[in-house]
Amino acid sequence: MNHKTIALLGNPNVGKTSLFNRITKLNQKVGNYPGITVEKRAGTVKANGKQYKIVDLPGTYTLFPNSLDEDVVFDILSNPTQKDHPDLVVVVSEPTTLNRGIILYQQVRELGLPAIFVINMMDEIETKGLIINHAALEKYLQTKVLTTNARTGKGIDNLLSHLDSSPGHYYGALTLPERYQDALAEAKALFPLETEYKTWHLLAQEHPSGTSEQHLAQLAAIRTRHGLHTQQLQKDEAILRHDKVDSDLEAIIQKSTNKKLALTDRIDNLLMHPVLGYVIFFGLLFLIFQAIYYWSGPLMDGVDQLFAALGDQAAAVMPEGPLSGLIVNGIIAGIGGIVIFLPQIAILFLFIAIMEETGYMSRVVFLMDRWLKPFGLNGKSVIPLMSGVACAIPAIMSTRNIENAKERLLTILVTPFMTCSARLPIYIVIIGLVIPDDKVLGFSLQGITLFVMYILGVVGALGAALLLNGFIKSVRKSYLIFELPTYKMPDWKNVLNTVWEKSSGFLIGAGKVILAISIILWVLGNFGPNDRFSDPEKYIVQENPHFTPEQVDNEITAYRTEYSYLGYLGRGIEPVIKPLGYDWKVGIGLIASFAAREVFVGTVAVVYSLGEDLDIEDDSQKQTLFTRMKSEINRNTGKPTYNFASGISLLLFYAFAMQCMATIAVVRKETGSWKWPLFQLFFMTGVAYIAALIAYQVLK
Amino acid sequence: MQNKISLDKLKKGEEATIVAFHSDELPAKFYELGFTPGATIQIKHKAPARGPICVTIVKDRTLVAIRTAEASLILTSRI
């Protein structure tokens, strides 16, 4: 039997997610709606002897969509063939903004869906100075009105017992203006089976989902004939409803002083202060990044040791041979390479979730919009750009609440310039090799260089945005409007749930790609096309007749790497990277890095035959790699491979190049085509190549 | 009437009633969040260098932020 589907719908900031977590008792799944990356949250709950499927719809103020998130809401509610089309809608609201909740509720009912109404955050009703006449509200809404407090769980059982309710017939509250009646009548003829209000939506939206091309053209023709614009129809509905609901509610709600607002006011005077506001925000950012590095250190060491031990264990159990090599050096090392970033990502998302939950994030948007607008970005771009410092994948996913398509696209395109945590190990190794360990004015020169690399990421992102801003056309005019919620203590359940979701999402999403790449790399590095690979001793002895058997043995791994498929690939691209100051060995690292940057250190370690499970945090092992890399001679130039010029060139290349398959995959999903990820790949790598070329040619 | 002034020109702390809109270009979302004719607003914060403006929609008791560009399209009358 089919379970009943219940949809939770409501404005942002009404505690809908907390309510969802309470109802489903965290028995939920986060996936994507088909074809797009809008997060879909669904869960199940048993009540009244039945099982219900609960769908948590993205927060919205209206059924007229302004963003991808809101497209999903209209699609699910208006389209009965949709898998998640609900049997009952639970409209969630909170006491202060009841009028906006009611507007959404009315739209749902007029679309023809049964709905009940929930007032959440009932605990705040007193401090907010409100008295609601419950019976009058039920009569007005023609449905059951329930009250809950999702933070304490009060009222949840009562809500569950009402999931089977079927409210009676609904008499529409909105009379559409006379001057639209003719156009509406024509539209109705096109859709004889739809409710009047659904038809109105089809007429008042530019691209209503689930509508055929032919119908879209016919609807556009009706609008042209009557000289109508979609925004104007939506605006008129909004004003009509607001006026009506506001005057109707006067008899239902009594208002006195809102104490909550007074507190928010006092905090805002500090946090949104034209000078102090910025000081506090940047101070906080600094603290967050300190915490990310400081707290994640021991955790990362732990992960590293765990995987090293796991690798040793596997190597001990399995007979030596190619299979053991694949599992130990390919799979276990590959997975370890992703898990190691998990602590940083979890800590970053902990802070972001707290900032969102308390309401501070929208203050950041307020402070930053002015400074991002000239670059074609939006105040809301701050969140993806900040998250990009941990990892571009979740960062790009967080762009979906940017309404303007162009600003969203630009944010997606430039976010990968931010210095993500995968670049860090490479920077550490190369800076250690080419920047002297000196102090300038009491600061470590190497530390300053690392800081400059982070600044370079920001400059790269903003510069690229500025450049691309001129080329990408905007369909709609850019605008920004957002609500600043009153400050609240974070709901810790929500915070932990978000951290868990984002971290596990990253692990699984990026993990699959990196695992596949590790295996491919391993295969390419461990097989060769001819007997130079399979029988290296013969050639080594031929070329170096004076070698002792021991020296021959030492040479074998390096020789094999050179004549493996990977070695041939490295030498194949050598002509291209020669002007940047690299040799074929670095080339192998670069090729491998196009899968994921973090592979570089492991790969060059293999090329220099040091074994892949090298730990750069471990000082003695770091020294081994450093000594080996320092003594490397570039056979094209006769100079050390890692000298100042080629080192800077390499740093610049890694700062700008698009070398992350997982990011490309996410961009493809978010933008819906290969056009943008491919553009990004060539654009970013092109910038990287030119920057590295100039740096090397000037410095050499 | 000299009291009519576009929203972006109001100073911090000033209260005003929304009278009209200079243009039809304002997205419907502005009306949905409470910028309707007759609504009373109060300027709460203004970001530096003509950055966003944060206002209270008095009847909803909510804080909403908009850009100066859109604020200049909203005509208000000082209270």
For A235-250, write each residue's pLDDT tens digit: 889 989 988 998 899 9
Its pTM stands at: 0.81
Looking up residue A62, the CATH number of its domain turns out to be: 3.40.50.300
Q: Which residue has the higher pLDDT, A548 or A91?
A: A91
Position A386 in a domain: yes
> Are B39 and A360 a contacting pair, CB within 8 Å?
no
Please tell me which of the candidates B31, B44, B61 has its beta carbon nearest to residue A239: B31
Position A461 in a domain: no
**Of the ranges A116-125, A482-491, A603-612, which one carries the lowest mean pLDDT score?**
A603-612
Position A43 in a domain: yes
Same domain (yes/no): A245, A287: no
Highest mean pLDDT among A135-139, A505-509, A639-643, A657-661: A135-139
Position A201 in a domain: yes
Within 8 A of B70 by CB-CB distance, chain A residues are 479-481
Within 8 A of B26 by CB-CB distance, chain A residues are 231, 235
Please tell me which of the candidates B24, B32, B63 has its beta carbon nearest to residue A61: B32
Is there a contact between B54 and A366 if contact means CB atoms under 8 Å apart? yes
B26 close contact with A: CB closer than 8 A: yes
Within 8 A of A485 by CB-CB distance, chain B residues are 63
B64 close contact with A: CB closer than 8 A: yes
Q: Say what the pLDDT of residue A621 is.
A: 63
* Mean pLDDT for the stretch of residues A290-315: 81
Same domain (yes/no): A202, A234: yes
Interface contacts A/B by beta carbons within 8 Å? 122
* Mean pLDDT for the stretch of residues A113-125: 92
Helix (H, G, I), strand (E, B) or coil at A448: helix
Within 8 A of A127 by CB-CB distance, chain B residues are none
β-strand partners of B15: B42
Assess whether pLDDT exceeds 80 at residue A296.
Answer: no
Please tell me which of the candidates B27, B32, B46 has its beta carbon nearest to residue A479: B27
Within 8 A of A481 by CB-CB distance, chain B residues are 27, 29-30, 33, 64-66, 70
- State the Cα–Cα distance between residues A34 and A75, nearest whole angstrom: 12
- Spell out the domain ranges in chain B: 4-78
Assess whether pLDDT exceeds 70 at residue A510.
Answer: no
- State the Cα–Cα distance between residues A112 and A97, nearest whole angstrom: 24
**Domains in chain A, number:** 2
Segment A508-512 long-range contacts (CB within 8 Å, at least 24 positions apart): A509/A393, A509/A662, A509/A665, A509/A666, A510/A338, A510/A391, A510/A393, A510/A596, A510/A662, A511/A335, A511/A338
Contacts of A13 (CB under 8 A, 6+ apart): A59, A94, A359, A483, A485
What CATH number is given for B4-78 in this structure? 2.30.30.90
Within 8 A of A66 by CB-CB distance, chain B residues are 27, 29
B52 close contact with A: CB closer than 8 A: yes
Residue whose tokens read 């898990």: A339
B13 close contact with A: CB closer than 8 A: no
The pLDDT tens digits for A318-341 are 777 777 777 777 777 777 777 777
**Final residue before a domain boundary, out of A360, A387, A421:** A421
Interface test with B, best of A61, A93, A254, A479 (most B CBs within 10 A): A479
B22 close contact with A: CB closer than 8 A: no
Is there a contact between B51 and A367 if contact means CB atoms under 8 Å apart? yes
Outline where DSSP puts E strands in A430-517. 439-440, 443-444, 481-484
Assess whether pLDDT exceeds 50 at residue A151.
Answer: yes
* Mean pLDDT for the stretch of residues B27-45: 90
Q: Look up residue A330 and give its DSSP letter.
A: I
Handedness of CA A292, A293, A298, A304 (dihedral sign): positive
The pLDDT tens digits for A170-202 are 877 778 888 899 999 999 999 988 888 999 999
**Closest CA relative to residue A77, chosen from A88, A66, A68, A67:** A88
Is there a contact between B28 and A370 if contact means CB atoms under 8 Å apart? no
Position A492 in a domain: no
The pLDDT tens digits for A623-650 are 667 777 787 888 778 888 888 999 999 9
B44 close contact with A: CB closer than 8 A: yes
Please tell me which of the candidates A100, A261, A484 has its beta carbon nearest to residue B65: A484
β-strand partners of A660: A596
Within 8 A of B54 by CB-CB distance, chain A residues are 268, 272, 366, 484
Same domain (yes/no): A305, A334: yes
What backbone phi and psi angles, to 5 degrees, belong to B70?
Answer: -75, -30
Q: Say what the pLDDT of residue A617 is.
A: 54
Same domain (yes/no): A246, A329: no
Position A635 in a domain: no
Residue whose tokens read 């162009």: A406
B24 close contact with A: CB closer than 8 A: yes
Instruction: Give the pLDDT band of residue A612 (cuts 50, 70, 90).
Output: very low
Q: Say what the pLDDT of residue A477 is.
A: 72
Within 8 A of B61 by CB-CB distance, chain A residues are 96, 128, 255, 258, 261
B48 close contact with A: CB closer than 8 A: yes
Is there a contact between A268 and B48 if contact means CB atoms under 8 Å apart? no
B63 close contact with A: CB closer than 8 A: yes
Outline where DSSP puts E strands in A69-225. 88-93, 115-119, 130-132, 145-147
B/e letters for A591-609, b = 16+ CB within 10 Å, e = fewer, are bbbbbbbbbbbbbbbbbbe
Instruction: Give the pLDDT band of residue A409 (cuts 50, 70, 90).
Output: very high
> Are A184 and A203 a contacting pair, CB within 8 Å?
yes
Position A577 in a domain: no
Is there a contact between B24 and A231 if contact means CB atoms under 8 Å apart? yes
Same domain (yes/no): A253, A282: no
Q: Count of H helices and E strands in chain B?
A: 2, 6
Contacts of A492 (CB under 8 A, 6+ apart): none
- State the Cα–Cα distance between residues B11 and A358, nearest whole angstrom: 28
Same domain (yes/no): A72, A200: yes
**Final residue before a domain boundary, out of A355, A387, A421:** A421
Assess whether pLDDT exceeds 90 at residue A472.
Answer: no
Position A445 in a domain: no
Please tell me which of the candidates A232, A238, A246 has its beta carbon nearest to residue B24: A232
* Mean pLDDT for the stretch of residues A397-403: 77
Same domain (yes/no): A283, A153: no
Same domain (yes/no): A291, A253: no
Taking the CA atoms of residue A354, residue A357, residue A362 and residue A363 in that order, the dihedral angle to the nearest 10 degrees is: -60
Assess whether pLDDT exceeds 80 at residue A34.
Answer: no
Average pLDDT value over all residues in chain B: 89
Is there a contact between B46 and A274 if contact means CB atoms under 8 Å apart? yes
Find the domain containing A369 and state its range: 276-421
> Are A202 and A208 a contacting pair, CB within 8 Å?
yes
- By C-alpha distance, the chain B residue nearest A262 is B61
**Final residue before a domain boundary, out of A421, A445, A474:** A421
Please tell me which of the candidates B36, B49, B62 has its beta carbon nearest to residue A96: B62
Pairing of strands A50-56, A39-47: antiparallel
Question: Nearest CA of chain B to the CA of A353: how many Å?
Answer: 21
- By C-alpha distance, the chain A residue nearest B37 is A239
Is there a contact between A103 and B32 if contact means CB atoms under 8 Å apart? yes
Same domain (yes/no): A155, A211: yes
Q: Say what the pLDDT of residue A622 is.
A: 63
Instruction: Give the pLDDT band of residue A38 (cuts 50, 70, 90).
Output: low
Helix (H, G, I), strand (E, B) or coil at B55: strand
> Are B18 and B49 a contacting pair, CB within 8 Å?
no
The pLDDT tens digits for A565-601 are 888 888 899 999 999 999 888 888 888 787 778 778 7
